[in-house]
A and B are shown apart, each in its own frame.
Chain A
Amino acid sequence: MTTTTPQATPAVRAQRARRGLAAAPFLAPGVFFLIVFMAIPVGLLAFYTFFKRGRFGGLVFEFTLDNWAKLAEPLYVGVILQSVGLAFIVTVLALLLGYPMAYAIAGLSPKWRTVALIAVVLPFWTNFLIRTYAWILLLNNAGFVNQWLQAIGITDEPISMLYTPQAIVVGLLYMYLPLMVLPLYASLQQLDPSLREAATNLGASPWRAFRTVTLPLSLPGALTGCIFVFVPAMSNFVIPELIGGGKTVMVGNLVRDQFYEARDWPFGATLALVLTMLLVVVIVIQAAVSRRITEGPRRG
């Protein structure tokens, strides 16, 4: 893997070969499995994007750039922008809701911290589809939120909430909020409390101590949380379909439809790869920003 040594003497090479031989029984099965069932399938998708669709799914071996050109059509540009927008809103809301939660948990006594954290994680271990379905029970016209609103007298007529973009946002927020709280908690909990105490002892107001000490030091956790929420929110197709009623189309829905309805596998593969590339770009930006934050102070 690494050929950093300028000149590999035969002895070194022999030693390396022996090492490789010893490593093989441990590494080879897993690496082989992942090459066959991950690398090749994903590579195959990339290959498919340059060919024509078959009539009933699959493809015809005829080179084309049409699949990539098709992305520029306003319809698809719109869907991609809409997905980015929705995932972005969900991420911001998760940060606004998750930060105070993580902050409160980090301030609890160790015993209650564990309980509070389990309580955050528990819904996440409940079946994803059942949690989605729970929101249908709540948001339906005959559902419980409408029943409660009518009981308090806020509205006489049921308000349509299900099958709207807002419902998708609520559903995605609900699904991924724990993924925001956990990394935030991890970074807040590592904070040395004496730093904040020093700030307040030196006369900073609690708000100023928070803003100048706690907030910057918790930024890496916040960024990690944002990635944890943004990435799955962006590719989810179940919530837009079940809670959004299929009226608001996200990239994930489009991919699913290319495989199950339109039977245009090459274009579906193109969309999925574009989605993945977008996510990779977001992750790379996040990594760069968080490296800058953590290294910044040391550089002075």
Chain B
Amino acid sequence: MAETTAPATDRAGETAAAMTDGAPAPATSRARRGKPRGILVPLWLGYVFLYLPILVVVVMSFNESRNLFVWTGFSLRWYPELFADEAMMQGLVNTLIVATGATLIATVLGTLLAYGIHHYTRGGLIRAFAIAPAILPDLLLGIGLLTFFSLLSFTLGLHSVILAHGVFATAFVTAIVLARMANLDPSLEEASRDLGMGPAKTFLRITLPQLAPGIVAGALLAFTLSLDEFVIAFFTTAPTQPTLPIVIYSMVRFGVTPEVNALATLLLLVSIVAVISAQRLTRLTGTSR
């Protein structure tokens, strides 16, 4: 930079420096083009760490042998064996029942809560209360509900898991719908109320359709989280009605067959499809806003 003493020339010097040294556009594009490739090395290493275990499981699901650690040849035998495994299939059915029930509870309660919180509360107390289950350690909620149900002599089963999963799922739906709510144009609701519609009618006719993408996203998240949830289900279900994660848990504890590899591969496929379609969905709703 040009060092000058007189203030007047100083300013002139600055502009001159900006002119000569300037041309900011080529400078930045040069910086971008010349970005060291080395920066991507840790990213690739991170991906190796994240995907290597999954890759091993997927490859071994096509292994012929019953031995988990030795590759003997290609075979698809574990896939039909998986579907013939009654414990696994029962676990899958149980999990789907639980996830559906919990999602229904959470979608209804979470949407209502989000609407109520957005319109009728000022302090953050009810908001914090509604979102608390998402932050509460699953262990605490699990044993709390176990204690509560056993005190009431409430028989454990899928219905108790549905209620338990409904708790944390409600928190996630509330959070997502609230976020969507904050982006809505309030003038539509005001117009509806000015024209004499009651709060219930305004909610059903005006707010709900606008919230739909947020509600769907919340419901999807609730469903996925419930499918995968282990700790709370572990404490709140009956031993005779395990969900799929509990079936996998006891298999890993007491002896694994390569069926688990096949199951893992299929579940991975499902989550790839789910994540990518959720991405599409949010992008669509993002642009429609």
Identify the A interface with B (CB < 8 A).
1-2, 19-20, 22-23, 25-27, 29-31, 33-34, 37-42, 44-45, 48, 57-58, 97-98, 100-101, 103-105, 107, 114, 116, 118-123, 125-138, 140, 142-144, 147, 174, 177-178, 181, 197, 200, 231-232, 235, 237-238, 241-242, 252, 255-256, 259, 265, 268-269, 272-273, 275-276, 279, 283
Chain A nearest CB, measured from B222 CB (Å): 14
In the complex, A27→B50 CA distance in Å? Answer: 41
In the complex, A1→B116 CA distance in Å? Answer: 14
Chain B residue with minimal CB distance to A147?
A: B69
A58 neighbours in B (Cβ, 8 Å): 150-151
Decide if B196 is an interface residue (CB 8 Å cutoff): no
Residue contact B148 to A1, C-beta cutoff 8 Å: no
Interface string of B249-289 (1 = CB under 8 A from A): 10011001000100110011001101110010000000000
Give which listed residue, A100, A137, A174, contacts B49 with CB less than 8 A.
A174
In the complex, A38→B106 CA distance in Å? Answer: 14
In the complex, A107→B52 CA distance in Å? Answer: 25
Chain A residue with minimal CB distance to B36?
A: A206
Decide if B248 is an interface residue (CB 8 Å cutoff): yes
Chain A nearest CB, measured from B265 CB (Å): 9
Chain B nearest CB, measured from A51 CB (Å): 11
Identify the B interface with A (CB < 8 A).
28, 31, 35, 39-40, 42-43, 46-47, 49-54, 56-57, 60, 68-70, 105, 108-110, 112-113, 115-117, 119-123, 125-126, 129-130, 132-133, 135-141, 143-148, 150-151, 163-164, 166-167, 170, 174, 199-200, 203, 224, 228, 230-231, 235, 244-245, 248-249, 252-253, 256, 260, 263-264, 267-268, 271-272, 274-276, 279
In the complex, A174→B53 CA distance in Å? Answer: 10
Residue contact B147 to A30, C-beta cutoff 8 Å: no
B35 neighbours in A (Cβ, 8 Å): 107
Chain A residue with minimal CB distance to B148?
A: A41
Give which listed residue, B40, B129, B140, B260, contacts A130 with CB less than 8 A.
B260
In the complex, A22→B116 CA distance in Å? Answer: 9
Chain A nearest CB, measured from B170 CB (Å): 6
Residue contact B56 to A30, C-beta cutoff 8 Å: no
Residue contact A133 to B248, C-beta cutoff 8 Å: yes
10 closest A-B pairs by beta carbon, nearest first, are: A26-B116, A41-B144, A23-B120, A100-B42, A134-B53, A30-B113, A27-B116, A41-B148, A104-B43, A30-B109
Give which listed residue, B143, B170, B228, contacts A34 with CB less than 8 A.
B170
Given contacts A103-B39, A134-B57, contact A279 B139 (CB under 8 A): no
Give which listed residue, A41, A132, A147, A256, contacts B141 with CB less than 8 A.
A41
Residue contact A48 to B50, C-beta cutoff 8 Å: no
Chain A residue with minimal CB distance to B53?
A: A134
Residue contact B42 to A44, C-beta cutoff 8 Å: no
B256 neighbours in A (Cβ, 8 Å): 133, 136
Which DSSP category, helix, strand, loop or mixed, fits chain B's interface? helix
B268 neighbours in A (Cβ, 8 Å): 126
Residue contact B249 to A130, C-beta cutoff 8 Å: no
Given contacts A1-B122, A25-B200, A268-B143, contact A128 B50 (CB under 8 A): no
A197 neighbours in B (Cβ, 8 Å): 28, 31
Residue contact B264 to A26, C-beta cutoff 8 Å: no
Chain B residue with minimal CB distance to A123?
A: B50
B117 neighbours in A (Cβ, 8 Å): 27
Residue contact A125 to B275, C-beta cutoff 8 Å: yes
B170 neighbours in A (Cβ, 8 Å): 30, 33-34
Chain B nearest CB, measured from A52 CB (Å): 15
Residue contact A128 to B230, C-beta cutoff 8 Å: yes
Residue contact A131 to B54, C-beta cutoff 8 Å: yes
Residue contact B43 to A30, C-beta cutoff 8 Å: no
Chain A nearest CB, measured from B276 CB (Å): 7
Chain B residue with minimal CB distance to A276?
A: B140
A174 neighbours in B (Cβ, 8 Å): 49-50, 53
B68 neighbours in A (Cβ, 8 Å): 137
Give which listed residue, B120, B129, B252, B271, contacts A126 with CB less than 8 A.
B271
Residue contact B272 to A1, C-beta cutoff 8 Å: no
Chain B nearest CB, measured from A274 CB (Å): 11
Chain A nearest CB, measured from B20 CB (Å): 13
Chain A residue with minimal CB distance to B60?
A: A137
Give which listed residue, B123, B144, B150, contacts A2 with CB less than 8 A.
B123
| B139, B151, B166 pick with most chain A CB within 10 angstroms | B139
A2 neighbours in B (Cβ, 8 Å): 122-123
A272 neighbours in B (Cβ, 8 Å): 137, 139-140, 143
Residue contact A37 to B116, C-beta cutoff 8 Å: no
